[in-house]
């Protein structure tokens, strides 16, 4: 019997399938500490994230909202192990980003990603561009965030040698 190491990695360009949907689990329960830490680390002084008295009394949701950039970062981050760990060359950019419903401390964020298109790079041999549409939902299935992004990923080392 032969044993060998198996290293967790994302997908090479050839392994991405257009229209494939990836469910990233486990979800991530947002905490008040996440919100305060992220908000202060990024120098975002928005009272909607930091000031409970302000948010509870004056705003329509009567609670502090999770920082939307935390939601976006966590949504994208949850896809890394399954899609791009060790195969990503560069993040090329984000397209449309939306936050149709707020996320609150205590909510759990579940992310899914759909591969919308892919093509080989014309200027970087052995690499390809993949477009990904991310959707974040809370524990009730309500969409709290959507984002599209383009990434540059490596082609399979076996494909490069052919």
pLDDT of residue 149: 97
User: What average pLDDT does the structure give for the chain?
Assistant: 93
Question: What is the rounded CA–CA span in Å between residue 97 and residue 145?
Answer: 7
Give the 3-state secondary structure of residue 64.
coil
Instruction: Assess whether pLDDT exceeds 60 at residue 161.
Output: no
* Prediction pTM value: 0.90
Q: pLDDT by residue (tens digit) across 119-131?
A: 999 999 999 999 9
Domains identified in the chain and CATH numbers = 13-160 (3.10.129.10)
Mode of pairing for the β-strands spanning 21-29 and 108-120:
antiparallel
Comparing CA positions, the residue from 103, 113, 106 lying closest to residue 81 is: 113
């Amino acid at each position: 019997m032969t044993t060998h190491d198996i290293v967790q990695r994302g997908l090479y360009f050839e392994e991405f399938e257009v229209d494939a949907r990836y469910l990233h689990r486990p979800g991530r329960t947002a905490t008040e500490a996440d919100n305060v830490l992220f908000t202060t680390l990024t120098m975002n002084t928005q009272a909607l994230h930091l000031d409970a008295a302000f948010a509870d009394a004056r705003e329509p949701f009567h609670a502090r909202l999770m920082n939307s950039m935390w939601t976006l970062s966590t949504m994208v981050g949850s896809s890394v192990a399954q899609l791009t760990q060790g195969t990503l060359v560069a993040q090329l950019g984000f397209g449309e980003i939306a936050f149709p419903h707020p996320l609150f401390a205590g909510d759990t964020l579940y992310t899914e990603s759909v591969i919308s298109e892919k093509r080989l790079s014309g200027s970087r041999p052995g690499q390809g561009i993949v477009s990904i549409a991310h959707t974040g939902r809370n524990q009730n299935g309500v969409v709290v965030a959507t984002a599209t992004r383009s990434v540059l990923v490596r082609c399979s080392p076996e494909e490069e040698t052919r």
